[in-house]
Amino acid sequence: MSEQLEDELPELPQEFPHIFTEVYFGLVPEINYGDLCHLSQIVKNVQRQRGYETLADCLRKIQWVKLSALLATSIEKDIAEHMEEDSVSLAPSDQIQHAKSICEFAIHTKSALDSLAVFLTWFLSLNAKKAERDFKHKRFRNQIRGKDLVLGQHIQSMGKWFDDLQEIRDVWIHKTSTMIFVTSEPSEVGVLPIPKKVSEGQRWIDGPVTKDNFWSTEEFVQFHYSTLISLFDLVVKRCIKIELGDIEMPPTRLEDYGPPMSSFPMRSIRPKVIKKMKFKL
């Protein structure tokens, strides 16, 4: 972490450009900031901000997914760099942190999807309540397809991913743990391989350390994260298109919304004159 101090506050716009608060966009550059700002202007125009709270929740959780991925890949890289020929490197605390990060990565990915499912239930006026609002249910996916063909076809094509992610999450939370071991030397799946068939537990991790049986840490987080981002991006674009259809004079999309702006909650405990603002990135 680094700390940057500025004696003067930067010039701020008269109106905050979007509704996606508690998001540090430097952490998720994969997200289209311009789309978020444009959607926010449209939503404010039709006074539907309240309904978009769960979409904002989804993006907040996507940050947690990214943080878990960054930590896991960083640990794996560090262990690999310190391996030496004819020696065995053991780093128990790093292995624990890596396993925890990978588990959290799966949990936060599912949690982000759950927020997205709740949002789509409202946005598309689906007949689904509580536990029914879940992408793991074919009926829920079919309802989405019945309301919006573009979203529905994309989501139906992701059926196996939803099932696999649900299994990973359920097994690691309710049945066992990530069961990730360190290899004696770098393999074709790195030094901290992640089993592909988590439901088989110990029997599976005893198999050959190959791509058929294991993910590398980088491949595991990249596959799941990119799939999540592609779905979120499509939802935002469909929201823009659908919301614009109900507006006679839609707000104009700007060519440049400026550098991404973040907003995080703060409460003042006592009255004070602010002369300086500190940013820790």
Q: What is the pLDDT of residues 147-173, one digit of tens each?
A: 999 999 999 999 999 999 999 999 999
Is the residue at 256 inside a domain?
Answer: no
Q: What is the pLDDT of residues 53-74, one digit of tens each?
A: 999 999 999 999 999 999 999 9
Cα gap 149→147, rounded to integer Å? 7
Cα gap 76→81, rounded to integer Å? 9
DSSP codes of every residue in 123-161: HTT-S--GGG--TT-HHHHHHHHHH-HHHHHHHHTTHHH
Specify the number of domains making up the chain: 1
Structural domain including 214 reads 3-249+262-280
Q: What is the pLDDT of residues 217-241, one digit of tens each?
A: 999 999 999 999 999 999 999 999 9
Is the residue at 255 inside a domain?
Answer: no
Is the residue at 257 inside a domain?
Answer: no
Is the residue at 254 inside a domain?
Answer: no
Is the residue at 151 inside a domain?
Answer: yes
Cβ–Cβ < 8 Å for 94, 75:
yes
